[in-house]
Amino acid sequence: MVEFWAAALALSLLLYVLLDGFDLGVGMLFPFGPDERARRHMLTAISPVWDGNETWLVLAAATLFGAFPLVYSTLLSAFYLPVMVMLAGLILRGVAFEFRYKTVRLRWMWDVGFVVGSYTATLVQGATVGALVQGLAIENGRYVGGPFAWLSPFALLCGAGLCLGYALIGSCWLAGKTEGELQDFAFRAAPRLLVALLVFLLAAFAYAAFLDLRVMNRWVERPILIIFPLIGLAAVAGLVQAIRARDERRPFLMGALIFAAAFCTLAASFLPYMVPFSITIDEAASPESSLLFLFWGAGLFVFPITLAYTAAVYFIFRGKVRDQGGYH
């Protein structure tokens, strides 16, 4: 049961990063859209799926609360402020998404809210991951740092890097879902964002080595970890080739593979810890009876139903964005 729920949590986080990542990326690209028609198409490209994508964040939080309560309480203590800021950004983004269609005179205000919410949520998510990599102040299984201990130059660098990554996968999504001028914009933006992302990865790796972070030792202890960056490099090469060929179908798949490789690299570097390097998976897990009780409900029904619903929505709305289409 411990392994099952750890895998379920990892899957929920990965799907959230991939799915909500691209629609947050579209939100960050929104102000650079060629014109109002293009911006409407950008919203239409994510409108059937954006709120469903956030379901995976809810499932991840619920899994932490039920299956790994020690990690839930520790991370909430450390990241209470950034979590509140992220949720505020997601709420602002969702409200702006709806309200911009209801007004003309104040549409600019809701456009700003949509963009600010997208950047805020992404920046906070990346900074949180950076703070985890850098390490939290934990003693005897309890967080002992202050409310702003998570905030550091390395964490902010990771936040900026995630903004680049989400914007990249957002441009890949637009390349496959749109046509004409907006698709041209997506194909122009993708290679620039890819170069910027690679520069960030090199900078983050060098900074982590300079800070002598403990996670860097895992590359010496576990040389097999190199397989995930190699998969990522292969995906980068595939993305470059797809962009050059203007292949509409491959960019998003290659972008998703880049993110999956990065996620697996990070997860494998942390194992067997859930909070590096303080709380292991076994230490964090609920009693076996609780995990089994959760399995017969959420494990057998909630997760499969959510997966099926997600797959059905993406299949139903698999077509191109058209002029006659719209959010409503």
pLDDT at 322: 75
CA 118 to chain CA centroid, Å, is 12
Would residue 302 count as lying in a domain?
yes
Confidence of residue 240 (pLDDT cuts 50, 70, 90): very high
Would residue 321 count as lying in a domain?
no
pLDDT at 211: 84
Decide: helix, strand or coil at residue 139: strand
Question: Distance between CA 215 and CA 124 in Å, rounded?
Answer: 21
Residue 328 has pLDDT above 70, yes or no: no
Confidence of residue 324 (pLDDT cuts 50, 70, 90): low
Report the 3 state secondary structure along 14-38: HHHHHHHHHHHHHHHHHHHCCCHHH
CATH number at residue 46: 1.20.1630.10
pLDDT at 257: 95
pLDDT at 21: 92
pLDDT at 320: 87
Would residue 33 count as lying in a domain?
yes
Q: Which amino acid is at 226?
A: I
Instruction: Please write the tens of the pLDDT for every residue from 70-109.
Output: 899 889 988 999 999 999 999 999 898 888 888 888 888 9
* DSSP-assigned states of every residue in 60-102: HHHHHHHH-HHHHHHHHHHSHHHHHHHHHHHHHHHHHHHHGGG
Would residue 323 count as lying in a domain?
no
pLDDT at 326: 54
Listed in sequence order, the DSSP H helices in the chain are 2-29, 36-46, 50-53, 55-67, 69-78, 80-99, 107-134, 153-177, 180-211, 218-221, 227-244, 250-270, 281-284, 288-294, 303-316
pLDDT at 245: 92
Question: Distance between CA 91 and CA 17 in Å, rounded?
Answer: 18
Instruction: Please write the tens of the pLDDT for every residue from 13-59.
Output: 999 999 999 999 999 999 998 888 888 899 999 988 888 888 999 99
**Residue 218 vs residue 236, higher pLDDT:** 236
> Shortest CA distance to 159 belongs to which of 187, 185, 195, 121?
121
Range of the domain at 115: 2-316
pLDDT at 239: 95
pLDDT at 18: 93
Would residue 324 count as lying in a domain?
no
Instruction: Please write the tens of the pLDDT for every residue from 150-193.
Output: 889 999 999 999 999 999 999 999 999 998 899 999 999 999 99
Question: Distance between CA 61 and CA 143 in Å, rounded?
Answer: 18
Confidence of residue 323 (pLDDT cuts 50, 70, 90): low
Would residue 95 count as lying in a domain?
yes
With contact defined as beta carbons under 8 Å apart, do 201 and 59 qualify? no
Residue 208 has pLDDT above 90, yes or no: no
Would residue 177 count as lying in a domain?
yes
Mean pLDDT for 272-295 is 88
Would residue 298 count as lying in a domain?
yes
pTM, to two decimals:
0.93
Q: How many domains does the chain have?
A: 1
DSSP 138: E
% of the chain beyond a pLDDT of 70? 98
Mean pLDDT for 207-211 is 86
Decide: helix, strand or coil at residue 274: strand
Lowest average pLDDT, out of 189-203, 258-272, 311-325, goes to 311-325
The whole-chain average pLDDT of the chain stands at 89
